[in-house]
Structure 1
Amino acid sequence: SGPAQEVVDEILAAGGEAIANNADVADWNQAEAMIQQAIETWGVLDGLICNAGFLRDRMLASMSEDEWDSVVRVHLKGHFAPARHAITHWRERAKQGEDVQARIVNTSSGAGLMGSIGQGNYAAAKAAIAQLTIQQASEWGRYGVLVNAIAPDARTRMTEGIFYSSDDVQEGAFDEKAPENVSPLVVWLASSECDVTGRTFEATGGQLNVCDGWQHGPVQSVGDRQITVEEISDLVHASIDSAPPPENVYGAQ
């Protein structure tokens, strides 16, 4: 019973194959068992979509240790643990000479890319997931694994009633925040048609865009000598003035 089984029932009713797993994805052994369940059921693992998460929103100055730890654990470790066990499977196949074509789709967030007031724990975890995506893509491409991330803006069980409400959708109108608007991107990124890796894509109703991450900004140099403390301010501001302005943090005044 529960949401996972409801999805399984929908897939089975549509003629597909599916099984439910209610493991704690941030538990190392349970994550391993989940991956093994898929391999034992279908004989091979082709893709992994990491999407577990929840919110414990609070301003950083008032946030408890548990509110920080629990969110970072589920989001960040909950992405790494299943992927770590999946790569063991793919690496072994690749070393045996098999042409592995595997895919991982991680879930970041606009909060992680731009920041979000009152969501410091969530934003930090989601930013880390975006970087984890780049790291995995760089290290695991040699084994035939492509890794990308999505930063969806949609109504889910996590956001329903907090940011969006299905009651706000007018009958007959395009439901901009419906999760179905993001699903096609996930399907493509998880398929053999996907030919990109190490990128994060924002997606919402009827649109998507790739996100540019950290890049080296304009360099200010004093030549072949040590910079003095007195010079730092001018150099810092010259570099900032020459760089594109940063995006605003969500919710910032």
Structure 2
Amino acid sequence: MTIRFDGRVAIVTGAGNGLGRAHALGLAARGAKVVVNDFGGARDGSGGSMTAAEAVVEEIRAAGGIAMADGADVSNFEQVKAMVAMTTAEWGSVDLLCANAGILRDKSFAKMELADFAKVIDVHLNGTFYCCKAVWDGMRERNFGRIVVTTSSSGLYGNFGQANYGAAKAGIIGLMNVLAAEGRKTDIRVNTISPTAATRMTEELLPPQALALLKPESITPAVLYLLSDDAPTRTIIGAGAGSFAVVKLMESEGLNLPESDWTPDAIAAHFAEISDMSQARALEGAFQQTEKYVTQAAARLAKG
């Protein structure tokens, strides 16, 4: 089966360079009409220009595809709404969203200024929320939508000097979990890509040999799969250098303690059992955790 996007309209944010450019080209090559969004700022979010987005649009058109450029700043909800309104007026709908735009302002936590934390949260987390919010009602009305948001290993696992970026990227996973649940009844599927690629944001962090393997184009197949008609929902795919993996948040089976042992000392004494991951599983929603704890407590009480 060949995945195609004929008749679909896609918005890709941060699509003037790197990952976003690769995703936009990939969607257009498989038949989607693509809005190439890029604020055109520097890596830290300063400045702004349509040049990069327009160059990608020309690339798509030269290959026979359909695209238009947009310069909305994703951290400005009014601009994001205007982009979605323009797209809908021009092409009738927004079926696919790839929220990819981002900036970096790396500093150790001790040296990080409040403005650097706030701006990165604003672009990554708020910007992702704004884009999802702007397309949500239209997707619900049409009973169809595919959304891919972008996390990072820095959010999943941590990385020195990226408290702002890591917090934003972890927050995006929480957003996906809720949107996936709320979108199910109207066939809006929401997934997350966790890319490792050689881009403007990683070029100073990796040696040349690694950068050569970590092409943005190696991430795009996973993004296109997650935007396809038969995509899963609430799934995190890690991708880089041709490797693809599914990431899940796991919880140990845990241990229910009698009320007489609700002490930090008992936690310390039983911590090996509490942290035993041999029966760990990925829970599918917040209530599953509540249900598990209540069931464990009831079972212990029933034993007397």
Q: TM-score range by the shorter chain?
A: 0.7 to 0.9
Q: Which one of the candidate residues 175, 179, 187 is aligned to 1:132? A: 175
Between the two proteins, the alignment pairs up a number of residues equal to: 229
State TM-score, norm by structure 1. 0.84
Q: In structure 1, what residue type is equivalent to 2:103?
A: F
Partner residue of 2:268?
233
Task: Write the distance in 2 (CA, Å) between the matches of 1:111 and 1:230.
Answer: 33
Deviation at 1:169, TM superposition (A): 5.0
Deviation at 1:232, TM superposition (A): 3.0
Partner residue of 2:284?
none
Deviation at 1:164, TM superposition (A): 3.7
Deviation at 1:224, TM superposition (A): 5.5
Partner residue of 1:217?
252
RMSD, aligned α-carbons? 2.0
Task: Write the distance in 2 (CA, Å) between the matches of 1:112 and 1:163.
Answer: 17
8 Å contact kept, 2:177–2:234: yes
Question: 2:249 matched to 1:200?
Answer: no
Q: In structure 2, what residue type is equivalent to 1:243?
A: M
Partner residue of 1:23?
72
Q: In structure 1, what residue type is equivalent to 2:139?
A: W
Partner residue of 2:205?
163
Deviation at 1:158, TM superposition (A): 2.1
Percentage of matched positions with identical amino acids = 35
Post-superposition Cα deviations, 1:76-125, rounded to whole Å, max 9, x if no partner, equal 001000101111111233xxxxxx33100111011111111111110111
Q: Greater relative contact order: 1 or 2 (C-alpha under 8 angstroms, separation 6 or more)? A: 1
Q: Which one of the candidate residues 31, 47, 54 is aligned to 1:5? A: 54
8 Å contact kept, 2:140–2:188: no
Question: 2:181 matched to 1:181?
Answer: no
Task: Write the distance in 1 (CA, Å) between the matches of 2:227 and 2:194.
Answer: 15
Partner residue of 1:250?
none
Task: Write the distance in 2 (CA, Å) between the matches of 1:3 and 1:158.
Answer: 16
8 Å contact kept, 2:251–2:277: no
Post-superposition Cα deviations, 1:4-38, rounded to whole Å, max 9, x if no partner, equal 11111111111111111111111111111111121
Post-superposition Cα deviations, 1:166-195, rounded to whole Å, max 9, x if no partner, equal xx259xxx941110111111122112232x
8 Å contact kept, 1:101–1:192: no
Q: In structure 2, what residue type is equivalent to 1:133?
A: M
Q: Which one of the candidate residues 145, 154, 158 is aligned to 1:102? A: 145
Partner residue of 2:289?
none
**SS class of match (2:70):** coil
> Is the deviation greater in 231-240 or in 124-133?
231-240
Partner residue of 1:247?
none
Instruction: Decide whether aligned partners of structure 1 residues 158 and 229 sit closer, same or farther in structure 2, where only a CA change above 3 A counts.
Output: closer
Task: Write the distance in 2 (CA, Å) between the matches of 1:149 and 1:81.
Answer: 16
Structure 1: segments with no counterpart, 5+ residues: 94-99, 245-253
**SS class of match (2:149):** strand
Task: Write the distance in 2 (CA, Å) between the matches of 1:229 and 1:179.
Answer: 47
Task: Write the distance in 2 (CA, Å) between the matches of 1:10 and 1:193.
Answer: 28
